[in-house]
Structure 1
Amino acid sequence: MVALLTIVGVVVAVFVGFNIGGSSTGVAFGPAVGSRLVRKTTAATLFLVFGFLGAWTVGRNVIATMSSSIVPATQFTPLASVVVLFFTGLSLLISNLYGVPASTSMTAVGAIVGLGLASGTLNQALMFVILSAWIVAPLFCLGIGVGVGRYIYPYLDRYVAFTTFTLQFVQIDRSGTVPRPSVNPNASSRDIVGSLLVVVIACYMAFSAGASNAANAVAPLVGEGGSLTVNQGVLLAVFAFGLGSFTIARRTLATVGDEITELPILASLIVSVVGGTVITILSYFGIPASLAVSTTSTIIGLGWGRASRAATLSELVTPAPERSDFEVATGALITSRSEEAPVSPTIGDIARYEEPPERPEEIPNVPDIGAEGPADLDENSLFNPAAAKRIATMWILTPSLAVAASYPVFVFL
């Protein structure tokens, strides 16, 4: 019976890792593949390599927390491990059905909390730290996004350009005995620098995803009396990531979701750096946290900060009578897509193989804060309020349901 449960646990762990690898590869390398900087197979390979580095180094700390610190490792019997992994996999299913990036980290921790409450072994001090991080990290990302969107993004948007190539960025000449790689002849020096930046940040995102997500797939199977050692758990998680990267990720590499398809490549890089850095730091300290929550909070902050440039800080707090109708949209990063402003391709452009408007010969000055009127803001938003509310609701609901559902199961067991 124990051997059978162990096999079931490994299968469920592979299923969880398979889905994580499929979705995370699309998020990390969507801009690079869509811009034809790397091929889908190359993107999957890079995600596998850097995801492994993240899981093998920083990810160990998160595995240790989830396998032995929230509750004692001895609580993870083969049956308990299968139950925890089941609820983690169920969260992925719910996320896919409703199209909302529910956090597998939060759900996995929720299921473990249910085990701790049922057995009376929950480390309450550690859970206070983890819950505090779940509140502070998104708010921090939101604040960084607002600051960058309001004070920095408009200037970067004028001077940083990203090119979508008709042919692959790296060409392979196979006419000779030895294949010879060469850079796309249409690429300028600025294109080369921008392209390398996109790929490097994608690899960094893969590192962060590996660091934070390996524990979600294998933590219940690792520890004292567990089915796997830490090294074996990391290798199993990365193997599952690879299965997802080379299969289902091919369908998600062109776009990262309907709600953010109009995200400019420049914005996606900022989101990746901010969200990835926050999660990597938390993973270093062994705190399981959601990469999806951090990146989405950064996107909302960027859009709000960009839109808020239409008013000064005093006007935002107390609108002037002549501007009483002023309202800041939830997202307005694509307001730069006006006739006078230079334009970078968005994720939606590259997914639909559309060409963005041509950049003007003369780059206009960035309007001062408060100089733009409400009419200057694009009514479209990257994250409309209804979408943001639905996502926030799911972030709270899925781990809460994991606790509520797993607790009676573990009491019964």
Structure 2
Amino acid sequence: MVSLLAVAGVAVAVFVGFNIGGSSTGVAFGPAVGARLLRKATAAALFVGFAFLGAWTVGRNVIATMSSSIVPAAQFTPVASVAVLFFTGGSLLISNLYGVPASTSMTAVGAIVGLGLATDSLNQALMFTILSAWIVAPLLSFLVGLVVGRYAYPYLDRYVAFTQFDLHFVQLDRSGRVPRPYLNPRASPRDVVGSVSVVVIACYMAFSAGASNAANAVAPLVGEGGTLTVDQGVLLAVLAFGLGGFTIARRTLETVGDDITELPVLASLIVSVVGGTVITILSAYGIPASLAVSTTSTIIGLGWGRASRARTLAELATPTPEPSDVEVSTGALVTSRAEDAPTGPTIGDVARQEATAEKPDELPDIPDVGAEGPADLDEKSLFDPMAAKRIVTMWVLTPSLAVATSYPVFMFLL
């Protein structure tokens, strides 16, 4: 019986890791693949390699927290382990059905909290720390995105170039016995810097994903008397990531939502750096947190920051007598210059292989903060508040449901 449960636990862990790998590979390397900087197989291989590096190093701390610190490791019986993984897999299903970046990490912790409450073994001090981090992390991501969007984004958008190549960035000369790699002849030095930045940041995103998500797939199976050791758990998680990365990740760009496809490549790189850094720091302290929540918060902050450039801080702090219907969305990131100065390609552009408009030789001046000018934004094109409410609701609802549904299961059935 125990052996069958162990097999079931490993199978559910592979299912969870498979879905994480499929979604995370597309998010991390979508811009690089769409711009023909990398082939899909190369992107999947890089994701697996850097996710393994993140899981093997920083990710161990998160696995330790989720496998033995929130509740004692002895509470993870084979049945309980399968149940926790079942609830984690269910969160992925809910996220996919509703198209909302619900947090797998939060739901996994919620299921473990249900186990701890049912067995009266919950580490309340640690949970207070984790809950505090869940509040601070998205706020910090939002504030960093807001500052970058308000003060730095227009200049980065003007001077940082991202090119979508007709042929792949790295070519192979097969005329000799040994194929010789060479750069696409269309690539200028500026293109090389921008292209390398896209790939490097994608690898960093993969590192962060591995550090934060390995525990979601295998933590209940790791620990004293557990089915797996920590090393085995990391290897199993990364193997499952790879299965997803080499299979379902190939269609990620075709099914990604509008809020992501309309995000410019430059903005997606800023989001990756900010969100990935916040999660890597938390993972180093062993705190399970959501990469999806941090990156989405950064997107909202960037859009809000871009929208606020036409007003001074004093004007923003002064309430207006007229009702405000300002919305914040990725449209604020796209509408960053005058009509004759188009922005860089969006993720949707590179996914659909659409040509982007060339920048004119002379660009209009960027207005100062608080000054009206040709680069002002249409504030009504900003983020849909109903979408923001739906996202925040799901962030709160999914872990809460995990606690509410797992508690009676562990209390009365297991």
TM category, shorter = over 0.9
Residue number in structure 2 paired with 1:261: 261
SS at match of 2:144: helix
The C-alpha deviation readout for 1:152-194, integer Å capped at 9, x for no partner, is 1011111111100011000112222111111000000000010
Q: Report if aligned partners of 2:335, 2:343 keep a CA contact under 8 Å in 1.
A: no
* Residue deviations 1:344-400 (CA, integer Å, cap 9, x gap): 100111122212222010122211122237994246757422211111111110000
Q: 1:14 aligned to 2:14?
A: yes
Instruction: Give secondary structure in 2 for the equivalent of 1:336.
Output: coil
Q: Quick one: which amino acid aligns to residue 47 of structure 1? A: F
> Partner of 1:220 in structure 2?
220
Which residue in the other structure is 1:63 paired with? 63
1:113 maps to amino acid: V
**TM-score, normalising length: structure 2:** 0.96
Per-residue CA deviations over 1:71-128 (Å, capped at 9, x if unaligned) read: 0000000000000000000000111111111100000000000000000000000000
Matches within 5 A, 1:186-335: 186-253=186-253, 256-318=256-318, 328-331=326-329, 332-335=332-335
For residues 15 and 236 of structure 1, do their structure 2 counterparts lie closer, same or farther at Cα, with a shift above 3 Å needed? same
Q: Which residue does 1:116 correspond to in 2?
A: 116
Match of 1:140 in 2: 140
Alpha-carbon shift at residue 337 of structure 1 (Å): 5.1
Task: Report the TM-score when normalising by structure 1.
Answer: 0.96
Q: Counterparts of 2:237 and 2:195 in 1: how far apart (Å)?
A: 30
1:344 matched to which residue of 2?
Answer: 344
Q: Distance in 1 between matches of 2:89 and 2:281?
A: 25
Q: Contact 2:326 / 2:382 at 8 angstroms: preserved in 1?
A: no
Between the aligned residues of both structures, percent identity stands at 80
Q: Which residue of 2 aligns with 1:32?
A: 32
Distance between the aligned counterparts of 1:410 and 1:320, measured in 2?
Answer: 52
Matched, 1:2 2:2: yes
Letter in 2 for 1:117: L
Match of 1:46 in 2: 46
- Paired residue secondary structure (2:335): helix
2:43 counterpart letter in structure 1:
A
| Offset, 1:134 | 0.2
Instruction: Give the structure 2 partner of residue 355 of structure 1.
Output: 355
Residue type of the partner of 1:208? Answer: S
Structure 1 CA distance, aligned partners of 2:260 and 2:125? 37
Which residue of 2 is the match for residue 149 of structure 1?
A: 149
Identify unmatched segments of 5+ residues in structure 1. Answer: none
Structure 2: which amino acid aligns with 1:29? Answer: F
What is the match of residue 172 of structure 2? 172
| Residues in 2 aligned to 1:217 and 1:14: alpha-carbon distance in whole angstroms | 7
Distance 1:179 1:374 in 2: 50
Separation in 2, partners of 1:38, 1:156 = 23
Contact 1:214 1:238 in 2 (8 A): yes
Sort the Cα spacing of 1:95 and 1:48 in 2 relative to 1 into closer, same or farther, 3 A: same
Partner of 2:403: 403
Structure 2 contact 307–382 (Cα < 8 Å) conserved:
no
Counterpart Cα distance in 2 of 1:96 and 1:362:
44
- 1:289 Cα deviation from its structure 2 partner: 0.1
User: 2:306–2:336: 8 Å Cα contact kept in structure 1?
Assistant: no
Coordinate RMSD, CA, aligned: 1.7
8 Å contact kept, 1:158–1:341: no
Shift of the 37–11 alpha-carbon distance from structure 1 to 2, 3 Å rule, reads: same
Task: Give the direction of change, closer, same or farther, for the CA distance of 1:263–1:35 in structure 2 (3 Å limit).
Answer: same
Q: Is the 8 A contact 2:67 2:223 kept in 1?
A: yes
What is the rounded CA distance, in whole Å, between the counterparts of 2:349 and 2:267 in structure 1? 14
1:255 Cα deviation from its structure 2 partner = 6.7
Question: What SS is found at the alignment partner of 1:252?
Answer: helix
> What do residues 47-68 of structure 1 show as CA deviations (whole Å, max 9, x unaligned)?
0000000000000000000000
| Partner Cα distance (1:359, 1:375) in 2 | 15
Contact (CA 8 Å) 2:63, 2:215: kept in 1 or not?
yes
AA aligned opposite 1:329: E
CA distance in 2, matches of 1:214, 1:150: 35
Amino acid at match of 2:241: F
Q: Are the counterparts in 2 of residues 307 and 329 from structure 1 also a CA contact under 8 Å? A: no
> Please, which runs of 5 or more residues in structure 2 have no aligned partner?
none
Equivalent position amino acid for 1:377 in 2:
L
- Change over 3 Å in CA distance of 1:255–1:182 after alignment to 2: farther
| Distance 1:310-1:326 versus aligned 2 partners, 3 A rule | farther
Q: Secondary structure at the match of 1:171?
A: strand
Q: Which residue of 2 aligns with 1:83?
A: 83
Indicate yes or no: 2:123 matched with 1:101: no
Query: Do 1:310 and 1:370's aligned partners in 2 also have CA atoms closer than 8 Å?
Result: yes
Tell me the distance in 2 between the aligned counterparts of 1:191 and 1:375: 25
Aligned equivalents of 2:21, 2:382: Cα separation in 1? 25
Q: Does the aligned pair in 2 maintain the 1:255–1:347 contact within 8 Å?
A: no
Alignment CA distance shift 1:319-1:402 (3 Å)? closer
1:76–1:6 distance in 2 versus 1, CA, 3 Å: same
> In 2 relative to 1, CA 367–375 (structure 1 residues): closer, same or farther, beyond 3 Å?
closer
In structure 1, distance between residues paired with 2:126 and 2:7:
31
1:263–1:348 contact (8 Å) kept in structure 2 = yes
Paired residues in the alignment total 411
- Opposite residue 89 of structure 1, the aligned amino acid is G
